[in-house]
Amino acid sequence: MNIILTTLNAKFIHTNLALRCLKAYAEPDYSPLLVEYTIKDPTFNIVADLYQKKPNIVGFSCYIWNIEETIKVIKTLKAIDPSIQIILGGPEVSYDTNVWLRQVKEIDYIIVGEGEHAFKELLNFLHGKQTLNDVPGVAYVKDDKFMLNPLPVKLDLRDSPSPFRFTEDLPNLSKRVVYIETSRGCPFSCQFCLSSIEVGVRYFNRDKVKEDIRFLMANGAKTIKFVDRTFNISRSYAMEMFQFLIDEHLPGVVFQFEITADIMRPEVIQFLNDNAPAGLFRFEIGVQSTNDLTNELVKRRQNFEKLQRTVTMVKSGGKIDQHLDLIAGLPEEDYQSFRNTFNEVFDMRPEELQLGFLKLLRGTGLRVEAEKYGYVYVDQAPYEIFSNNVLTFDDILRIKQVEDVLEKYWNAHRMDNTLEYLFAHIFETPFDFFQQFGTFWEERNWSKIGHQLEDLYTRLFSFLEGLENISLPTIQSVMKLDYLSKQKFQPRKPWWKNDIDKEEQSSIYKQLAENPSIAGDEFVAFGLNERELYKQTFITPISICVDAYKDGIIKEKEGYLLTTFGRGETPHFSMIELKQPSNAVH
Q: From 108, 131, 149, give the residue that closes a domain.
A: 149
345 and 202 within one domain: yes
- 34 pairs with which residues across the strands? 5
276 and 366 within one domain: yes
Q: What is the pLDDT of residue 583?
A: 44
pLDDT at 585 over 80: no
Q: Has residue 199 been placed in a domain?
A: yes
Q: What is the pLDDT of residue 578?
A: 63
565 and 498 within one domain: yes
pLDDT at 220 over 60: yes
294 and 188 within one domain: yes
pLDDT at 449 over 90: no
531 — pLDDT class (breaks 50, 70, 90): confident
Q: What is the mean pLDDT of residues 505-530?
A: 91
Cα-Cα-Cα-Cα torsion 482, 486, 487, 493, nearest 10 degrees, comes to -50
199 — pLDDT class (breaks 50, 70, 90): confident
Q: What is the pLDDT of residue 357?
A: 97
531 and 406 within one domain: no
Q: What is the mean pLDDT of residues 310-327?
A: 97
d(CA 290, CA 324): 13
Q: Has residue 585 been placed in a domain?
A: no
pTM: 0.91
448 — pLDDT class (breaks 50, 70, 90): confident
* Least-confidence region, from 308-322, 327-341, 343-357, 556-570: 556-570
Cβ atoms of 70 and 62 closer than 8 Å:
yes
Q: Has residue 413 been placed in a domain?
A: yes
DSSP state string for 20-78: HHHHHHHTTT--PEEEEEETTS-HHHHHHHHHHT--SEEEEE--TTTHHHHHHHHHHHH
85 and 21 within one domain: yes
Cβ atoms of 331 and 362 closer than 8 Å:
no
What are the pLDDT digits (tens) for 535-550?
Answer: 999 999 999 999 999 9
What are the pLDDT digits (tens) for 401-410?
Answer: 999 999 999 9
167 and 133 within one domain: no
Q: What is the pLDDT of residue 586?
A: 37
Counts for the chain of helices (H) and strands (E), in that order: 21, 20
Q: Has residue 359 been placed in a domain?
A: yes
Q: What is the CATH number of the domain that holds 118?
A: 3.40.50.280
pLDDT at 186 over 70: yes
Q: What is the pLDDT of residue 579?
A: 57
What are the pLDDT digits (tens) for 450-497?
Answer: 889 999 999 999 999 999 989 999 999 999 999 999 999 999 889 998
Its domain, for residue 436, covers: 392-453
82 and 188 within one domain: no
Cβ atoms of 70 and 91 closer than 8 Å:
no
Q: What is the CATH number of the domain that holds 282?
A: 3.20.20.70
Q: Has residue 464 been placed in a domain?
A: no
What are the pLDDT digits (tens) for 249-262?
Answer: 999 999 999 999 99
Taking Cα atoms as reference points, which of 28, 30, 62 lies closest to residue 161?
28
198 and 121 within one domain: no
239 and 206 within one domain: yes
Q: From 133, 149, 165, give the residue that closes a domain.
A: 149
Total domain count for the chain? 4
255 and 165 within one domain: yes
Q: Has residue 406 been placed in a domain?
A: yes
What are the pLDDT digits (tens) for 100-126?
Answer: 999 999 999 999 999 999 999 999 999
pLDDT at 580 over 70: no
CA distances from 382 to 55, 56, 164, 232 (A): 29, 30, 30, 29
499 — pLDDT class (breaks 50, 70, 90): confident
Q: What is the mean pLDDT of residues 337-362?
A: 97
Q: Has residue 460 been placed in a domain?
A: no
118 and 179 within one domain: no
Residues composing the chain: 586
Q: Has residue 582 been placed in a domain?
A: no
Q: From 120, 149, 178, give the residue that closes a domain.
A: 149
